[in-house]
Amino acid sequence: MRPNRLRELFAARQTALGGWCSINSPYAAELMGHSGFDAVVVDLQHGPLYLDAAVPMLQAISATGAMPMARCSANLFFEINKLLDAGAYGIVCPMIDTAEDARAFVSACRYPPAGTRSFGPTRGVLYGGDDYFKHANGTIVAYGMVETPQGLANLEAICAVEGLDGVFVGPSDLSLALGVSPTPRWRDSPLAETLAKILATTHAAGKMAGIFCVSVDFAVDMKRLGYDFVVLSNDAALLRGAAQQWVGALR
Measured in whole angstroms, how far is the alpha carbon of residue 173 from the centre of its chain? 15
Q: What is the pLDDT of residue 48?
A: 95
Would you place residue 201 in the very low, low, confident or very high pLDDT band (cuts 50, 70, 90)?
Answer: very high
Q: What is the mean pLDDT of residues 181-202?
A: 96
- For residue 26, the model assigns a pLDDT of 98
d(CA 164, CA 40): 20
Q: What does the pLDDT read at residue 245?
A: 96
Work out the pLDDT band at 9, boundaries 50, 70, 90.
very high
Rounded Cα distance, 91 and 94, in Å: 10
Structure confidence at residue 158 as a pLDDT band (50, 70, 90):
very high
What is the mean predicted confidence (pLDDT) over 19-33? 98
Q: Is 46 a catalytic residue?
A: yes
Q: Give, as one character, the DSSP assignment of residue 170.
A: -
Contacts of 203 (CB under 8 A, 6+ apart): 209, 226
Question: Are residues 29 and 61 in contact, defined by beta-carbon separation less than 8 angstroms?
Answer: yes
For residue 112, what pLDDT is reported? 98
For the stretch 111-125, pLDDT in tens is 999 999 999 999 999
Mean pLDDT of the 138-142 span: 98
- The DSSP letter of residue 2 is P
Per-residue confidence (pLDDT) for residue 124, from 0 to 100: 97
**pLDDT (average), residues 225-235:** 98
Band of the pLDDT at 100, cuts 50, 70, 90?
very high
pLDDT of residue 190: 97
Neighbours of 31 (CB within 10 A): 19
Residue 67: the pLDDT is: 98
Q: Which residues contact 39 (CB under 8 A, 6 or more apart)?
A: 5, 6, 16, 18, 19, 66, 67, 68, 69, 89, 90, 229
Residues 39 and 8: their CA atoms lie apart, in Å, by: 12
Q: What is the reported pTM?
A: 0.97
